[in-house]
């Protein structure tokens, strides 16, 4: 089996709003082979930048676009192809969007591998330990306490036993920060789990003060209180915080996760398969297991990434929560023909070959704004 095409498709579901939501557009990577099999993956990044990383022509031996590195290769050799992409893109890569693009391709290669062998990816990863994983509804804060309360109430009524509230307007003032968390707790009631995603708004000392205030509302974790690159700040905060500290969603690949893991900087490591692929996520999982910390997925894009996260996290013994983005966006709900969203607060791990999802070609046709490699 040989790779014959690496197709990039950019989808948009209308004009993007000024909010921190990744499901307003999408870059799909589709790896096709001479046997007629296709694997699909996605990256959570700027779609046009990912496409450029795939499309770039050969410049020299360590500066080459990913497509050119992959054509003619055997797609089953995922580890070797990761190393080939890493070395071949070294002068513009090693971090950030290049690794995200590699992650999308790696996701597609594992989808292909599963389809080739007729097995779900979780089996190729060593075997799932869960058929279902408890989901948390992941959504943005309201503008104030009462809007946030209404949002919490809505998702608990929809069957979720955990709700995460994120980003704006947190970080504007101490009073508003606490009011937002008070509204979240009021909305979900006494028994459900409240998760708080601050959106990288404080330095460590302010974050510690907020963690102490939020502890009164029994939050399940405080996510990304600090800048994503402030590893020392996270280690300092985690040593002192009365609540668990979660982060990692922006990290691309093992080099990015290694300092966080080595310094025991977090309680919960959040890994986005659309920035890491299965190959890097397997390394991160093993390292987090070694240090006895907890692992969760990050996902705010399409059902392709939801499926990827479910295959991966189902192989972890303590799969205690799964991020289920509940934004009302066709990118979240219509890219695959299968709807992968929690029922009664639980997500079911797909069992079909590969990722176990099917691209909805009708939706792709209506939302397609750019394509290369076909
Ligand atoms: Mg987050």
pLDDT of residue 19: 83
| φ, ψ for residue 166, nearest 5 deg | -135, 155
Angle of helix 254-262 relative to helix 231-240, nearest 10 degrees, comes to: 40
Residue 239 burial (CB < 10 Å; 0-12/13-18/19+)?
exposed
> How many whole angstroms from 92 Cα to the centroid of ligand 1?
26
**Which CATH number fits the domain 123-348, given the four candidates 3.20.20.120, 3.40.50.300, 3.40.190.10, 1.20.190.20?**
3.20.20.120
Q: Name the burial class of residue 286, with classes exposed (0-12), middle (13-18) and buried (19+) by CB atoms within 10 angstroms of its CB.
A: exposed
C-alpha 225 – ligand 1 centre gap (Å): 10
Residue 184 Cα to ligand 1 midpoint, Å, equals 16
> 338 alpha carbon to ligand 1 midpoint, in Å?
25
Can you say how many angstroms the Cα of residue 339 is from the centroid of all Cα atoms in its chain?
17
Q: Residue 277: CB partners within 8 Å, gap ≥ 6? A: 41, 82, 102, 103, 104, 105, 106, 107, 109, 110
CATH ID of 3-118+361-372, from 3.40.50.300, 3.30.390.10, 3.40.960.10, 3.40.50.10860: 3.30.390.10
Query: Phi/psi at 323 (nearest 5 deg)?
Result: -75, 115
Pairing of strands 162-166, 132-140: parallel
CA of 132 to the centre of ligand 1 (A): 22
57 C-alpha to ligand 1 centroid (Å): 34
Q: Separation of 297 CA from ligand 1 center, angstroms?
A: 10
Matching residue, tokens 């029922």: 343
Distance 199 CA to ligand 1 centre (A): 6
Q: Do residues 293 and 268 lie in contact, with contact meaning Cβ atoms separated by under 8 Å?
A: yes
Q: How confident is the model at residue 220, as a pLDDT?
A: 98
Q: What is the pLDDT along the chain (374 residues), one digit of tens a residue?
A: 999 999 999 999 888 888 888 889 999 999 999 999 999 999 999 999 999 999 999 999 999 999 999 999 999 999 999 999 999 999 999 999 999 999 999 999 999 999 999 999 999 999 999 999 999 999 999 999 999 999 999 999 999 999 999 999 999 999 999 999 999 999 999 999 999 999 999 999 999 999 999 999 999 999 999 999 999 999 999 999 999 999 999 999 999 999 999 999 999 999 999 999 999 999 999 999 999 999 999 999 999 999 999 999 999 999 999 999 998 999 999 999 998 999 999 999 999 999 999 999 999 999 999 999 99
Q: Of the candidates 297, 293, 325, which has an alpha carbon nearest to the alpha carbon of residue 311?
A: 297
Q: What does the domain layout of the chain look like in residue ranges?
A: 3-118+361-372, 123-348
Q: How far is the CA of 22 from the centre of ligand 1 (A)?
A: 11
* CA pair distance 157, 154, nearest whole angstrom: 5
Q: How far away, in angstroms, is 295 Cα from ligand 1 center?
A: 14
309 Cα–ligand 1 center, Å: 15
* 12 contacts: CB under 8 Å, gap ≥ 6: 24, 25, 26, 367, 369
Helix (H) or strand (E) holding 219: strand 219-223
What's the pLDDT score for residue 21?
84
Distance from residue 7's CA to the centre of ligand 1 (Å):
29
* CA–CA distance, 367 with 330 (Å, rounded to integer): 9
Output the CA 171–ligand 1 centroid distance in Å: 14
Cβ-Cβ contacts under 8 Å for 254 (sequence gap 6 or more): 280, 283, 284, 287
Rg (CA), the chain: 20
HEC per residue, 47-78: HHHHHHHHHCCCCECCECCHHHHHCCCCCCCH
The 10 Å Cβ neighbour count of residue 221 is 25
User: With contact defined as beta carbons under 8 Å apart, do 349 and 122 qualify?
Assistant: yes
Place of tokens 């499901």: 23
Q: How far away, in angstroms, is 330 Cα from ligand 1 center? A: 20
| Residue keyed to tokens 């709807």 | 339
Non-local (6+) Cβ contacts of 191 within 8 A are 161
Gap from CA of 221 to ligand 1 centroid (Å): 11
Cα(278)–Cα(307) distance, integer angstroms: 12
**Helices within the chain (DSSP H only):** 47-55, 66-70, 78-88, 96-117, 121-124, 145-157, 174-188, 204-215, 231-240, 254-262, 273-290, 303-313, 330-333, 361-367
Distance 275 CA to ligand 1 centre (A): 14
Is the CB of residue 248 less than 8 Å from the CB of residue 266?
yes
Using CB atoms within 10 Å of the CB of residue 175, give its burial: 0 to 12 exposed, 13 to 18 middle, 19+ buried.
Answer: exposed
Distance 324 CA to ligand 1 centre (A): 12
How far is residue 31's CA from residue 98's CA, in Å, rounded to a whole number?
A: 17
CA of 166 to the centre of ligand 1 (A): 7
Q: How many CA atoms lie within 13 A of 76 on its CB side?
A: 10
């Amino acid at each position: 089996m040989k790779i014959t095409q690496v197709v990039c498709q950019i989808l948009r579901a209308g004009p993007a709003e000024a909010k921190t939501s990744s499901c307003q557009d999408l870059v799909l990577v589709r790896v096709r082979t001479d046997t007629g099999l296709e694997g699909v993956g996605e990256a959570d990044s700027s779609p046009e930048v990912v496409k450029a990383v795939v499309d770039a022509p050969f410049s020299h031996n360590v500066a080459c676009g990913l497509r050119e590195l992959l054509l003619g290769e055997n797609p089953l050799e995922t580890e070797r192809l990761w190393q080939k992409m890493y070395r071949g893109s070294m002068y513009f890569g090693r971090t950030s969007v290049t690794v995200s693009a590699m992650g999308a391709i790696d996701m597609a290669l594992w989808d292909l591998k599963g389809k080739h062998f007729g097995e779900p990816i979780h089996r190729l990863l060593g075997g799932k330990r869960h058929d279902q994983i408890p989901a948390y509804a992941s959504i943005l804060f309201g503008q104030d306490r009462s809007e946030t309360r209404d949002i919490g109430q809505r998702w608990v009524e929809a069957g979720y036993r955990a709700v995460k509230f994120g980003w704006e307007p947190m970080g504007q003032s101490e009073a508003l920060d606490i009011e937002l968390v008070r509204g979240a707790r009021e909305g979900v009631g006494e028994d459900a789990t409240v998760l708080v995603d601050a959106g990288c708004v404080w330095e460590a000392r302010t974050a510690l003060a907020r963690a102490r205030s939020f502890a009164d509302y029994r939050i399940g974790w405080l996510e990304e209180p600090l800048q994503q690159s402030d590893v020392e700040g996270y280690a300092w905060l985690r040593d002192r915080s009365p609540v668990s500290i979660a982060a990692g969603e922006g990290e691309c690949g093992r080099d990015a996760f290694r300092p966080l893991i080595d310094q025991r900087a977090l309680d919960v490591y959040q890994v986005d398969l659309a920035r890491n692929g299965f190959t890097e996520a397997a390394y991160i999982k093993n390292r987090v297991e070694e240090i006895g910390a907890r692992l969760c997925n990050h996902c705010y894009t399409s059902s392709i990434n939801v499926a990827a996260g479910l295959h991966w996290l189902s192989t972890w013994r303590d799969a205690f929560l799964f991020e289920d983005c509940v934004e009302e966006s066709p990118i979240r709900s219509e890219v695959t023909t299968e709807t992968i969203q929690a029922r009664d607060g639980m997500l079911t791990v797909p069992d079909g070959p590969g990722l176990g999802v099917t691209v909805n070609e009708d939706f792709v046709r209506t939302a397609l704004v750019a394509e290369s490699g076909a």
